[in-house]
Structure 1
């Protein structure tokens, strides 16, 4: 059995792919590195661990925590955020009284949706108007952290945070900065698998979707499914904002590319 450990690692990679679309099938050594400390802690071999996950559903949560990448920080990719604040948001001021719904997909520890909330508040465009931010991730542990809105002062979360933001939107909390309650209240956190077949029903219609630096972890088949779901979820004319190194050109004809001097993003046609 031990000699066939690679086969069981392949089985585990396929299991992960089928569950959430994260592709380790061609990167087994990386997968092995991420799980070997946990396997050692449990006193199991790879083939035993694969069976253990199926017998103990809570272990799947642990596995997801081990294999997902959760690097993020406040005000990441400032050029795109400036475009969001100055060009995209103003389009929704006169949207027939409907609430603006924004989805931060794969939000990790919450820096992105809170940044979105801060930008909306700072814009002054929606005083007295409700803006709903839905923030989702598959990793239960990072969502629990995100909901608290607490971030260590010396953490990389603040590597690009403008100085004037601290006083406006954070409260000094000893070793931490705490996001102010008015921003926290703007965000609804949900645990969501981007490959869920009921994604549209669980999220509802949205005007803007942020999904930055996420698609790079999926293969073409998974990307097509996710983008198709994004298309159905977005209202006509809605916006899809990806990471600066991500492109869906050729993936879905229902999006047009918006090119600006320092950024590009996508708009659902119609």
Structure 2
């Protein structure tokens, strides 16, 4: 993750907050704390992550998922076969839960295959919030009211909790996209949603993350980026695929190899 000069105040404020929390009075003392305290490193990372998201964000990609990507992936597979979908980063869970809800609502073949949805993030606080499954009005604003009624408990204190069956439909893991070992531990996927994160990396970190994502895709698998991102500017290893609903990128090869 990179921050320009315009973000200096943001960076200084976040570090100052952590210095106050740890009782360190100088940056050199705080830096020494970071060198010896892995938990504080985790807290500092959490302080810098951006968790702006909501349900059904970039809905056109969800339409593409059910209308084009999944039919392509399962072609030639048998009922009951495993299909793995990865949301990385997943923030506080809106994206992977959106995928689960969308498939139940819009993909007629959802019960014919074993769909495994994994949500990963480097922010452990965001992951804890995702697993808890409480969401406010803004996060739910794009969902139809009947969908909210089916998948969320009645509102309490301005929030609604995702029903237990849906909370159990997503597996959450801590992952650093630029750490090859961390990414490899997640296994291989047929479809990856990696939206609005690569723009925050410097060039070398972006290349490493993309290489890790490529290795995580089964041959023939697809990756969806954010609307401001272009894989073609980062790596030539992926094929660009234009579907009616969205432009995505594919690892060359047959998905039957995965």
Scaled by the length of structure 1, the TM-score of the pair is 0.85
Match of 1:251 among 209, 234, 241: 234
Matches of 2:200 and 2:245 in 1, distance apart?
24
Unaligned runs of 5+ in 2: 254-258
1:23 aligns with 2:2: yes
**Alignment RMSD (CA, Å):** 1.9
SS of match in other structure, 1:79: helix
Q: Which residue in 1 is equivalent to 2:168?
A: 185
Distance (Å, rounded) in 1 between the aligned partners of 2:183 and 2:29: 36
2:250 aligned residue = 267
SS class of match (2:206) = helix
For 2:38 and 2:168, locate their aligned partners in 1 and report how far apart those are by CA, in whole Å. 31
Contact 1:93/1:125 (8 A) holds in 2: no
Q: Partners of 1:91 and 1:263 in 2: how far apart?
A: 14
Q: Which moved more, 1:85-94 or 1:24-33?
A: 24-33
Q: Which moved more, 1:55-64 or 1:67-76?
A: 55-64
Q: Alpha-carbon deviations, 1:160-181, whole Å to 9, x = none?
A: 2222211222121423212122
Aligned residue runs from structure 1 range 110-149, under 5 A: 110-122=93-105, 123-149=107-133
1:53 to 17, 26, 34: 34
Report SS of the residue matched to 1:60: helix
Q: Kindly state the Cα deviation for residue 245 of structure 1 after the two structures are TM-superposed.
A: 0.3
Aligned to 2:66: 85
> Are residue 159 (structure 1) and residue 141 (structure 2) matched?
yes
CA 1:164–1:90 in 2, change beyond 3 Å: closer, same or farther?
farther
Measure, in 1, the Cα distance between the counterparts of 2:246 and 2:67.
13
What is the match of residue 256 of structure 2? none
Once the two structures are TM-superposed, the CA of residue 254 in structure 1 deviates from its matched residue by 2.1
Per the TM alignment, residue 261 of structure 1 is displaced from its structure 2 partner at its CA by 5.5
Shift of the 79–59 alpha-carbon distance from structure 1 to 2, 3 Å rule, reads: same
> Which residue of the partner structure matches residue 169 of structure 1?
151
Number of equivalenced pairs: 247
1:108 aligns with 2:91: yes
State the 1:248 CA deviation.
1.5
TM-score normalised to the size of structure 2? 0.88
Question: In the aligned structure 1, how far is the partner of 2:209 from the partner of 2:131?
Answer: 25
- Is residue 23–residue 218 contact of structure 1 (8 Å, CA) maintained in 2? yes
Aligned mates of 1:222, 1:28 — CA distance in 2: 21
Match of 1:210 in 2: 193
Task: Return structure 1 stretches of 4+ with deviation > 6 angstroms.
Answer: none
**Pairing 1:62–2:43 present:** yes
Report if the CA contact (8 A) 2:153-2:163 is conserved: yes
1:133 Cα deviation after fit: 0.6
Q: Secondary structure at the match of 2:110?
A: coil
